[in-house]
Amino acid sequence: MRLGLGLLLLGHLGFEGLLLVRGEVRFPSQTLGKVPGLRQLADRDAAEGQKASATSAEEAEDSVKAEAEEPVEEGRPAVDASDLLEKVHDLQELADRVAAQSQKVADANTADEAKEFLEDAKAEAGASSEEAEDPQRKAMAEVVTRRLAEGTASQKEIPEMAVTKMPWNAICPCATMVLLIYIYLAVDILPTALTDYERLKEQDEEEQEEEEEELPRRVQRREVDRRDPALVLAAVLYWVVMPIALVSLGFGATCEEGPPNLAYITYGVFFAVHFVCIFRAMLGSLRKDLHDSTPKLIFMLGLAALEHFDMASDALFTGTSAACSDEITSLWLQSWHDGPGGGLMVPMLSKLGFSGVALFITNAYLPQLLSVFAPFAPFGALVFVLLVLLWAAFGWLVGLAAMLSVYVFLICSPLGEWQMFVFHQQVDSDLHLALYVGAEVVELRQDAVLTERRVLLILGTKLVLENLLQLWLQSSYLSLSFDRMDTFARCQAMASIGVGLLVAGYKGIQISAVVVAAIARLGGSVVRECDITGLILGAVAVFMMLGGFGGLAWVAAKVVFIFQCDSHVWNLSTGCVSPQT
């Protein structure tokens, strides 16, 4: 290696640029940056020389004794001068080409250009390695190739996003969809509030005139929005502010350590404010509707805390997956190849990468934000998938035009009006608003049918689109990046998966209890009368129940086999994946 280093320096700097100190090649410090990886190589050689100094004296003494005992044979010189000059000239040309390509890498404006220039430099060195006939020249070219490969990480990287490597063809459609949904809600809510304000203002003036005639000193005022402000604040923070803030802060995560401390501090603030609002509502507007049983009330508060943490961990997972996306995407795509029929999904998934898919699944909170009924949620998710693929395949102009077309159609069609009616039903009172923010500390005593409908239609959407998809992706991430994570990052990932399993398991139990009771009560009459609507809703409910528990068992098995398989990767169809694979 030292001989190869000396030849490279001869070619790149000339004979006069080298210094010989105690028989070793030394080079000026101002020349270290001219060849990529040269400084690292020199430092490593220096360290190796220090390690070998302890035994060098004994080896030299033994060598001298051996040479003294053996006869000296005369022969041709070890290195012919003309051959040496030719080797130096060739290596100088190689070093010049590699240095030129490395400079292009440093000056590149985009990640694609940097990768292309670096590949060219490696190809230059690789071609010289294959064409070299002399062992020393071949060894030197191989050293250059290896150092270029190792120096890839130290080259100037132009990330696809400021702090992450998440592809823009995933960021743009997801961010656009979130923005459009928030605009949709704001435009709908504001005119409604203004209309109600004018109507209630006129009504208040009439009532105030009547009251002044009867009780002149008594003045009553009516508020426009009679919902508890604490619950309104909790809903805004839970569904709007917290997801955006934690997804943004999660982009500061590293593959080894997970999200930054600032993200956890911010989440702690959101958690504290959320439960201050809930406790205030429990002492005021929700006092009459709380559960009668104190143990059940405490259990529901604990479940609300787990639900809040699950929402936050899903948002933070987006940034964490982006930090490791480059390292695990190829392994993840290979696992799809190994599964039956999974190869058909690889072209689509490769356009987004692992982090892009994570961001897409994080956007599954949007159907819950709009209170989309479970039978329609898969249809909405399929439309969103098609829009994302269209954006990735044909560019942002085509993708944005298609997304705006679907958006306008939904707003202007009766489907959009009906969905907004459903949304207003879920937030029209303090009782419903508490359930909307995940605090099931109240009871819907007045209508058992309303309770069943909420469990089947609302919780089903949360179970399938939020919990199961997130658990599947997070367990895949943990298995693929297990060896790259430190202990704290592993514990954080395990905690997120564990909380998700508890929350999803409870929702599955709720759905199962309602489904079994409804089938026992109405199943016979629905089948006899061939009620198509009842049959469809029953089939959807049974599918959610069986699929929910099946998905939870699958995720639990993947987590267990992380510690059982040597590769930490387990698939349902292939079992433990071989580390060589």
211 is a domain residue: no
User: Looking at the DSSP assignment, which residues form a beta bridge with residue 388?
Assistant: none
Task: Count CB atoms within 10 A of the CB of residue 7.
Answer: 24
Instruction: Answer for the pair 387, 396: CB distance below 8 angstroms, yes or no.
Output: no
315 is a domain residue: yes
If we measure between CA atoms, which residue out of 399, 348, 328 comes closest to residue 175? Answer: 399
Q: How many domains does the chain have?
A: 2
Q: Which long-range contacts (CB under 8 A, 24 or more apart) does 275-281 make?
A: 275/304, 275/305, 276/230, 277/230, 277/231, 277/233, 277/234, 278/230, 278/231, 278/234, 278/304, 278/434, 278/437, 278/439, 278/441, 280/228, 280/230, 281/228, 281/230, 281/231, 281/234, 281/430, 281/434
Radius of gyration, CA atoms only, the chain: 34
Return the amino acid letter for 265: I
| pLDDT tens for each residue of 519-564 | 888 777 878 878 787 787 777 778 777 877 888 888 899 888 888 8
468 is a domain residue: yes
Q: What confidence score (pLDDT) does residue 118 get?
A: 56
Q: Are residues 256 and 336 in the same domain?
A: yes
For helices 242-250 and 261-283, angle between their N-to-C axes, nearest 10 degrees: 170
Return the amino acid letter for 209: E
| pLDDT tens for each residue of 335-383 | 777 666 667 777 777 877 888 888 888 887 888 888 887 667 777 777 8
Q: Are residues 525 and 491 in the same domain?
A: yes
Burial of 172 (0-12, 13-18, 19+ CB in 10 A): middle
Report, as ranges of residue numbers, the positions in the chain whose pLDDT lies below 50.
1-39, 41-42, 52-54, 56-57, 60, 64-79, 109-111, 152-164, 191-198, 200-201, 215-224
- Domain extent for 435: 168-202+225-576
Task: Count CB atoms within 10 A of the CB of residue 122.
Answer: 19
Task: Count CB atoms within 10 A of the CB of residue 210.
Answer: 9
Instruction: Answer for the pair 105, 92: CB distance below 8 angstroms, yes or no.
Output: no
Q: What confidence score (pLDDT) does residue 268 get?
A: 95
If we measure between CA atoms, which residue out of 166, 8, 152, 142 comes closest to residue 87? Answer: 8
371 is a domain residue: yes
Chain length of the chain: 581
Contacts of 125 (CB under 8 A, 6+ apart): 94, 98, 141, 144, 145, 148
Q: What confidence score (pLDDT) does residue 131 get?
A: 52
Q: Are residues 360 and 330 in the same domain?
A: yes
Q: Are residues 309 and 253 in the same domain?
A: yes
139 is a domain residue: yes
Q: What confidence score (pLDDT) does residue 531 get?
A: 78
Q: How far apart are CA 373 and CA 422, in angstroms?
A: 9
Q: Are residues 26 and 97 in the same domain?
A: yes
Q: How far apart are CA 536 and CA 497, in angstroms?
A: 32
Q: Are residues 120 and 241 in the same domain?
A: no
CA 150 to chain centroid, in Å, comes to 27
Q: Are residues 172 and 130 in the same domain?
A: no
Q: Are residues 305 and 349 in the same domain?
A: yes
319 is a domain residue: yes
Q: Are residues 393 and 505 in the same domain?
A: yes
489 is a domain residue: yes
Q: What confidence score (pLDDT) does residue 514 get?
A: 79
| ∠ Cα 526 528 531 (to 5°) | 40
Q: What confidence score (pLDDT) does residue 539 get?
A: 78
Contacts of 522 (CB under 8 A, 6+ apart): 534
Q: What confidence score (pLDDT) does residue 59 get?
A: 53
77 is a domain residue: no
Distances (CA, A) of 154 to 102, 106, 147, 450: 11, 10, 11, 60
Q: Are residues 406 and 456 in the same domain?
A: yes
Q: Are residues 102 and 181 in the same domain?
A: no
Q: Are residues 420 and 453 in the same domain?
A: yes
Q: How far apart are CA 434 and CA 227, in angstroms?
A: 11
Instruction: Answer for the pair 467, 544: CB distance below 8 angstroms, yes or no.
Output: no
